[in-house]
């Protein structure tokens, strides 16, 4: 089922998400399938549960549409329940980011180049994995959503100032998207 995506300005995007207690595995399996369907429908490469109004620590990423720019992402996708960083490198790198909750906006964002994450996979196994390059970038962007943080928060002060008007319009729902969106007001 394709779910509507909450836009910048919605309270749920600023609320730290709760860990799931893994008690309802059928619900989790269906919800992750819905998140993947919603992400693909919107042509996104990542989605976090708060973006569809569910304040839980669940995220999905899929790099298969990005292989023109990042060939190493061929076949790369992850679905993570309760992810936590176990390592973030001091070495950083910069990539251009965007977000389905902040349509038609991008910014260069600097973040750690390599990360390790411990999470529960869709088979309900706890795993720890290391990621670097754009895969690490996608996961860090979605992990931020679970803490109520948006990529624009990390943009340079000048870039943030330039985006103020656009962000205001998005929070009012004044934005054109090919996918269904929601704000707190409508």
**Is residue 49 part of the contact set for Ni ion (CB under 5 A)?**
no
Nearer to Ni ion, 99 or 175 (CB): 99
What DSSP designation does 159 have? H
**Is residue 107 part of the contact set for Ni ion (CB under 5 A)?**
no
Write the interaction track for Ni ion spanning residues 58-97; mark x where CB under 5 A is met and - where it is not.
Answer: ----------------------------------------
CB 50 within 8 A of CB 16: no
Helices (H), 44-174: 133-146, 157-171
Across 63-178, the runs of DSSP E, i.e. the strands, are 77-88, 92-99, 102-112, 114-120, 126-132
**Is residue 170 part of the contact set for Ni ion (CB under 5 A)?**
no
**Is residue 99 part of the contact set for Ni ion (CB under 5 A)?**
yes
Q: Shortest approach of Ni ion to residue 76 CB, angstroms?
A: 17
**Is residue 32 part of the contact set for Ni ion (CB under 5 A)?**
no
Residue 153: CB atoms within 10 Å: 10
CB 170 within 8 A of CB 102: yes
**Is residue 17 part of the contact set for Ni ion (CB under 5 A)?**
no
Nearer to Ni ion, 58 or 99 (CB): 99
* Cβ partners under 8 Å of residue 150, min gap 6: 8, 13, 99, 101, 102, 144
Active site residues: 142
Q: Shortest approach of Ni ion to residue 10 CB, angstroms?
A: 12
Q: Which residues bind Ni ion (CB under 5 A)?
A: 99
């Amino acid at each position: 089922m394709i779910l509507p995506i909450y836009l910048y300005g919605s309270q749920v995007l600023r609320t730290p998400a709760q860990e799931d207690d893994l008690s309802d595995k059928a619900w989790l399996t269906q919800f992750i399938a819905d998140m993947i369907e919603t992400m693909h429908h919107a042509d996104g490469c990542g989605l976090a549960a708060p973006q569809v109004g569910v304040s839980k620590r669940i995220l999905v990423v899929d790099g298969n549409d990005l292989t023109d720019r990042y060939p190493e992402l061929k076949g790369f996708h992850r679905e993570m329940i309760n992810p936590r960083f176990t390592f973030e490198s001091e070495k950083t790198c910069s990539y251009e980011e965007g977000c389905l909750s902040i349509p038609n906006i991008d910014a260069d964002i600097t973040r750690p180049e390599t990360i390790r994450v411990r999470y529960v996979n869709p088979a309900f196994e706890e795993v720890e994995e290391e990621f670097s390059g754009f895969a690490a970038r996608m996961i860090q962007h979605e992990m931020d959503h679970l803490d109520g943080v948006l990529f624009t928060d990390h943009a340079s002060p000048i870039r943030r100032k330039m985006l103020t008007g656009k962000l205001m319009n998005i929070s009012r729902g004044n934005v054109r998207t090919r996918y269904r969106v929601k704000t707190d007001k409508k």
